[in-house]
Structure 1
Amino acid sequence: MKTIAFAAAFALAATTAEAQYLSGTGSNPSPHTSSGYTRSNGTYVAPYVATNPNGTQRDNFGSTGNVNPYTGATGHRTPRH
């Protein structure tokens, strides 16, 4: 009985996560890190975490409806595509 309840809960969670990813209300599940660097004009850029490119802007941390899990910041940019 516990196995069936666990399987049902897992299926529901997986379906919810997939729906959020496809509708643009969830962040991209594949982030990458960038090391800090200094630009040619002398400006230092601190290390950061960003989502991997995938052809859409709806699942980026900064897009409306998404939250950056690393900083807690809420996205505010409207996706272009």
Structure 2
Amino acid sequence: MTMLKALAIAAGLACAASGALADQYVRGYTRQNGTYVQPHMRTAPNSNPFDNYSTRGNVNPYTGQAGTRNPYAVPSVPSGPYVGAPSVRAPQAPCYGYGCR
């Protein structure tokens, strides 16, 4: 029984340590508008929206705040003209005769 307890404690510590490795310390900095941002911890950036402290269902272990962001939200598409690649017209068949431009 004692061996089982020791194994369970070791597994728990290993899981806690691996979670801490995913965190990053962010130094305090001043934004362009003059606002100072306090130093803080954040999750390491990746493409998974489910493992961030701000995601609904997660709790920030440093502040105790519950996440509020929807992990299933679709990013908004910018409005206005597309500024990417230039527009390309489809090739037209040659026109011979009356009514050609």
TM superposition score normalised by structure 1: 0.65
Structure 1: gaps of 5 or more residues: 18-27
One-letter amino acid of the structure 1 residue matched with residue 60 of structure 2: N
Greater relative contact order (Cα 8 A, min sep 6): structure 1 or 2? 1
Aligned partner (choices 43, 58, 75) of residue 50 of structure 2: 58
One-letter amino acid of the structure 1 residue matched with residue 55 of structure 2: S
One-letter amino acid of the structure 2 residue matched with residue 55 of structure 1: S
- Name the residue aligned to 1:38: 30
Aligned residues: 68
Root mean square deviation of aligned Cα = 2.8
SS at match of 1:33: strand
State, as a whole percentage, how many aligned pairs show the same letter.
Answer: 43
Structure number with greater Rg is 2
TM superposition score normalised by structure 2: 0.54
Q: Does the alignment pair 1:68 with 2:68?
A: no
**Aligned structure 1 segments of 4 or more residues deviating by more than 6 angstroms:** none
